[in-house]
Amino acid sequence: MTQTLTRRSLIAGLAALPVAARAASPALPVSSTDFRGALDAAHYGVTPDSLGADAKAFNRLLREAASRDMPVFLPPGLYRLSDIELPAAIRISGVPNATRLVYSGEGRFMRARGAGRVALADLVIDGANRWLADDQPGLLTFQEVERLTLERCEIVGAEKFAIWAERCSGRIEANSISGATASAVYAVECRDLSIRDNVIGDCGDGGILVHRWTKGFDGTIVTGNRIARIRARSGGTGEYGNGINIFRADGVQVSNNHISDCAFTAIRSNAGSNIQIAANQCLGSGETAIYSEFGFDGAVIANNIVDDAANGILSVNFNEGGRLAVISGNLIRNLKLTAPYEQDDAFFGIGIEAEADAAVTGNVIENAPRWGMLVGWGPYLRDVTVTGNVIRNAPVGIAATVVEGAGQASIRQNIFSGISEAAIAGYRWREKVTGDLARNGAEPFPHLDIESNRVS
């Protein structure tokens, strides 16, 4: 009997061919030959479970790869390593969640100095909480690397900093970093670095630190990171325990980060000029959620959400040169009167504080147990406008300084609701010395312009 070939029978026959082919071919293990152009690590004696304190084989592999400008692929498995010196141009990758580099504890793990290009990707890097030598500040230490790329790695168990990047450029992207005794990332004296889309948690003293030894332009972008559960193991009153900490670094952008449960501050900028802090979620901060303090000249703090902190947003220290800020479009709520420390000159339970050359506009503050806003402090007030804000549920909506020598402030067109003592009150340092200036006017204080506010 002759079978007629139809379109349906032809398609059915073709569909069956790949199944038969797969059934006939056994599964092949992953090898470095699957990654074209990569050196075969096994050829250099580098195989899982074969390495110990002697790093000669691994370093020889890296030197050969750098001299031939070829990448290194490490197949799945556990590699015990110490004293790895990354050469001037190196690219190392593995299989995500399967290629594990574990520090064996001989004082140094991995570092690069004066390299043109270093790239690490898809590796699990485990410090095993082992001791690091004094000249190894980070589990991964990069010094003067022109193009640093660290991406899609899982970094755990660092006894000091997980990543130390000193005078580097490049990017630290899409990594998972946890359990560092100090901080997850310490970037010092860098230039145009990008730190983005990392997941950071359970670190002893900090999340991401962007510092400079001397104040100057930095240009780092910190964006899209998720940071949680940052402690202040080393104590202090804000030096430690911050999700993101900027120090003396100018031109830094901090945006679209999700930061929760920090012992002190979600985002703290100390002496960082021309900084942008925008569209961040700051939840559960033990002290002030967002700080721009000391010796800064220019800060934009906009469109952030702050919930459950001791203070919301502070732009302060005019006495130390802190000035020039825009604070707009932020939502601040559910503040508290307690913080990790007590000092006579410290106040908590404040939504926003601004002191010099600042525009505070379009913010919403709800449930501030002390003051919705603090405008100036003692004589430290100059050229501040407070307009178009909504303040709900606070004993005092706005506390404005009336100390001799204070500069001018304009407080107009704000809405106050649920205020128990005064919508706007004058303060001499700590002491409330006026009635409600929103209702009675500020004629005795010519430096204050108070008009067109609504109180309900």
| Euclidean distance between CA atoms 15 and 1, whole angstroms | 24
Instruction: Say what percent of the chain tops pLDDT 90.
Output: 86
- CATH T-level fold of 106-455: Pectate Lyase C-like (2.160.20)
Pairing assessment for the beta strands 415-428 and 431-432 based on DSSP bridges: antiparallel
pLDDT in tens, 433-456: 999 999 999 999 999 999 999 999
Mean pLDDT, range 251-255, rounded to an integer: 98
CB crowding 194-229: b at 16 or more within 10 Å, else e: bbbbbbbbebbbbbbbbbbeeeeebbbbbbebbbbb
Domains of the chain, by residue range, sit at 106-455
Is 423 a residue whose pLDDT tops 70? yes
Does residue 372 contact residue 395 with C-beta atoms inside 8 Å? no
Phi, psi of 23 (to 5 degrees): -65, -30
Residues 315 and 327: beta-carbon distance below 8 Å:
yes
Could you give phi then psi for residue 307, rounded to 5 degrees?
A: -140, 130
Quote the CA–CA distance of 412 and 410 in Å, as a whole number: 6
**Cα dist. 287→292, 298, 341, 398 in Å?**
13, 23, 9, 20
Among 103-112, 266-275, 343-352, 377-386, name the one with the lowest average pLDDT: 343-352
For 204-230, write each residue's pLDDT tens digit.
999 999 999 999 999 999 999 999 999
d(CA 278, CA 247): 18
d(CA 217, CA 31): 45
Over its C-alpha atoms, the chain yields an Rg (Å, rounded) of 28
- pLDDT tens string 137-175: 999 999 999 999 999 999 999 999 999 999 999 999 999
Q: How many CB atoms lie within 10 A of CB 36?
A: 8
Mean pLDDT of 13-23: 37
